[in-house]
Amino acid sequence: MSMANSTALPCLLLLTIVSLAAANGGGSNSTHSRQVRLACGASASATDSDGRAWDGDSASKFLTSTKSGVAARATYHDPSLPSSVPYMMARVFASSHTYTFLVRPGRVFLRLFFYPSDYGNRNASSALFGVTAGGVTLLRDFNASQSALAVDAAYLVREFSVNVNSSGRLDVTFAPSTGASSHYAFVNGIEVVPTPDVFTVPVPTFANGGRPDPMPIRADTAFQTMYRLNVGGTAVSPADDSGSFYRTWDTDFPYIFGTAVGVSSKKDSDVTIRYPPSVPPHIAPEGVYASARSMGPDPQINLNYNLTWILTVDAGFYYLLRFHFCEIQNPITRVNQRSFYIYINNQTAQEQMDVITRSGGIGVPVYTNYLVVTTGSGQTDMWVALHPDPGSRPQYYDAILNGLEVFKLQTYGSNNLAAANQPIPQKQLYQKEFKRDSAVAAVVGRVAAGALLAALIGCACACAICRRRRKYASVAVCETDCVPEQPAHGLRSPKKRGKVW
Ligand SMILES: *[C@@H]1O[C@H](CO)[C@@H](O)[C@H](O)[C@H]1NC(C)=O
Ligand SMILES: *[C@@H]1O[C@H](CO)[C@@H](O)[C@H](O)[C@H]1NC(C)=O
Ligand SMILES: *[C@@H]1O[C@H](CO)[C@@H](O)[C@H](O)[C@H]1NC(C)=O
Ligand SMILES: *[C@@H]1O[C@H](CO)[C@@H](O)[C@H](O)[C@H]1NC(C)=O
Ligand SMILES: *[C@@H]1O[C@H](CO)[C@@H](O)[C@H](O)[C@H]1NC(C)=O
Ligand SMILES: *[C@@H]1O[C@H](CO)[C@@H](O)[C@H](O)[C@H]1NC(C)=O
């Protein structure tokens, strides 16, 4: 496992083969291929807190070589880990390693689980590596410690959707970055979930600068999930996702700009969510369509503000934005009762958006897609805003949104999805030092877990708000003097958790 070995054998590729053959008799039933969950570094199967069963990758059927990295246990169990499986064990690589999954051709969600921690004699801060899958670079010079700190989370889940070609084989390669012999790669869990193609069917209809659809989305495009929000609702855990896709849907509240947060609502009890053939239930679970955020009851107030979300993304990529809609409350059952604009990055993506017109009725889900171009490098803020459209004289001057997904598209020239590691906001740095410096902090944290969590949430919200303001105010406001804003409308604060990012 020394670097001397790896430089002496530069072409050494260690293979781990995992079979995804159909569970039901070996047929090639495209929608029922088996899901794979590998708890990397684990020697036995185990179940996580969501009820997902994970296979240890040390079991002999998965390893073709004894030189496939080393299994290591995390030295510290962060209380915010949802489950010790798969996070407390890792496989650590000093040289390039490839896991090979045999899977029916088509799309899969590929999720990579990372818990940055010291592993054996390896420091968390020395991990620096790249990941490729199916010929696409997913991560480059990935610093898991920094990325986790940047979003104030103990662990990270990176979700990609990649296309498995007719070879029926998906190679996922972890390679330590060059530059220092201490650099290593690690992974705690790998999840492969075959899905239908939920991306390329609907044609996106908007691009920045008013150019219509400048680039059709290729069927083999790889995507990274940047945001998946249950707008106006509570988080949906992987176990509660539809289609057994094990997606996580987060609350949208932390991303709302300013204090005008609108009103969140649940479906009326006599409204049933009815999925039409054009929106199969696997598109989004009922929990997403059964809750929504709207602007509020006062038309004058609504005409005077935009209900706005700010979503930080990597600049220099195309993004697919998917808006999920469903009218769920009884006053609104007919066409032209509610009509609104969708703005993306201050440009009109959609006018006269009327959910009933598109869906056909109350309780019927519908979604729309927009393609957005970002330029430059580093990170940039994507603005998504809703505003009443009085053009058709609707009955209510209001807008509604039930869910929002943001996917980054691979670049076609360089087959790349990777971007620079996110910078760490100052507040998180301070918290990290605080945790390090005081051995008592962990104990206090456990005793006063509620208070600490509340404080962390407050800080996280404040930071998010500060970050937004900092970027768009002409003077640098509040790294230190910003007061956390209170959630309005009795919404629950988001739980501190890992980020799909
Ligand atoms: C796959 O299996 C399901 C249920 O087992 C069945 O309904 C469906 O028709 C099959 N699809 C194909 C393409 O064979
Ligand atoms: C790990 O970190 C500790 C303290 O930060 C340092 O003393 C040690 O040299 C580091 N070890 C390696 C292998 O980088
Ligand atoms: C990873 O990021 C942390 C925090 O920014 C930094 O201290 C560390 O040196 C980085 N590790 C490497 C290998 O670059
Ligand atoms: C499938 O993809 C792999 C990895 O990108 C590539 O090496 C291989 O040639 C492809 N096979 C086919 C049949 O397209
Ligand atoms: C959108 O407009 C706001 C307000 O004028 C501005 O601060 C912001 O930078 C704009 N956002 C984008 C992405 O252009
Ligand atoms: C809402 O956003 C659009 C697009 O950025 C902008 O033209 C409009 O002035 C905004 N309206 C209000 C009330 O802020």
Ligand 5 neighbourhood includes 472 CB (under 6 angstroms) = yes
Residues 203 and 315 placed together within one structural domain of the fold? yes
How far does residue 39's CA lie from ligand 1's centre (Å)? Answer: 29
For the CA of 346, the closest atom of ligand 5 is 1
Q: What's the half-sphere exposure (Cβ side, CA atoms, 13 Å) at 415?
A: 10
Mutation test residue for ligand 4: of 99, 166, 167, 415, the one with most atoms within 8 Å of CB: 167
How far does residue 370's CA lie from ligand 4's centre (Å)? Answer: 30
- Distance, in Å, from the CA atom of 496 to the CA atom of 428, rounded to the nearest integer, reads 13
Burial class (CB in 10 A: 0-12, 13-18, 19+), 8: exposed
How far does residue 95's CA lie from ligand 2's centre (Å)? Answer: 20
384-401 pLDDT tens trace: 999 999 999 999 999 999
Q: Whose CA is nearest to atom 8 of ligand 3?
A: 125
Does any domain span residue 422? no
For the chain, the domain total comes to 3
Residues 175 and 283 placed together within one structural domain of the fold? no
Q: Whose CA is nearest to atom 2 of ligand 5?
A: 346
> How many CB atoms lie under 10 A from the CB of residue 273?
18
Ligand 6 neighbourhood includes 383 CB (under 6 angstroms) = no
Does any domain span residue 281? yes
Residues 234 and 271 placed together within one structural domain of the fold? yes
Ligand 6 neighbourhood includes 305 CB (under 6 angstroms) = yes
Q: Are 501 and 156 in contact (CB under 8 A)?
A: yes
Q: Whose CA is nearest to atom 3 of ligand 6?
A: 346
Does any domain span residue 91? yes
Q: Are 309 and 257 in contact (CB under 8 A)?
A: yes
Rounded to whole angstroms, the maximal C-alpha distance in the chain is 73
Domain that includes residue 447, residue range = 433-490
How far does residue 344's CA lie from ligand 5's centre (Å)? Answer: 10
Mutation test residue for ligand 3: of 129, 146, 432, the one with most atoms within 8 Å of CB: 146
Q: Which of 195, 218, 248 lies at the terminal end of a domain, its last residue? A: 195
**Which two tokens mark 138?**
């997913």
Is 472's pLDDT higher than 70? no
Residues 119 and 140 placed together within one structural domain of the fold? yes
Does any domain span residue 496? no
Q: Which of 195, 213, 234 lies at the terminal end of a domain, its last residue? A: 195
Residues 353 and 287 placed together within one structural domain of the fold? yes
243-279 pLDDT tens trace: 999 999 999 999 999 999 999 999 999 999 999 999 9
Q: Which ligand is nearest to the CA of 383?
A: 5
125-183 pLDDT tens trace: 999 999 999 999 999 999 999 999 999 999 999 999 999 999 999 999 999 999 999 99
Does any domain span residue 92? yes
Does any domain span residue 43? yes
Q: Which ligand is nearest to the CA of 468?
A: 5
Sheet arrangement for strand 340-344: 307-314, 379-388, 340-344, 347-353
**What is the per-residue pLDDT for 299?**
97
Q: Whose CA is nearest to atom 3 of ligand 3?
A: 146
Residues 375 and 405 placed together within one structural domain of the fold? yes
Does any domain span residue 423? no
Ligand 5 neighbourhood includes 346 CB (under 6 angstroms) = yes
Residues 354 and 467 placed together within one structural domain of the fold? no
Residues 191 and 235 placed together within one structural domain of the fold? no
Which CATH number goes with the domain that contains 60? 2.60.120.430
pLDDT band at 219 (very low <50, low <70, confident <90, very high): confident
Least-confidence region, from 166-180, 215-229, 437-451 = 437-451
Q: Are 401 and 386 in contact (CB under 8 A)?
A: yes
Does any domain span residue 498? no
- Strand (E) positions, 147-188? 156-164, 169-176, 185-187
- Distance, in Å, from the CA atom of 69 to the CA atom of 96, rounded to the nearest integer, reads 9
Residues 306 and 390 placed together within one structural domain of the fold? yes
Q: Which of 170, 195, 220 lies at the terminal end of a domain, its last residue? A: 195
Residues 43 and 115 placed together within one structural domain of the fold? yes
Residues 451 and 472 placed together within one structural domain of the fold? yes
pTM of the model: 0.81
Residues 401 and 446 placed together within one structural domain of the fold? no
How far does residue 195's CA lie from ligand 1's centre (Å)? Answer: 14
> How many CB atoms lie under 10 A from the CB of residue 176?
25
Length of the chain: 501
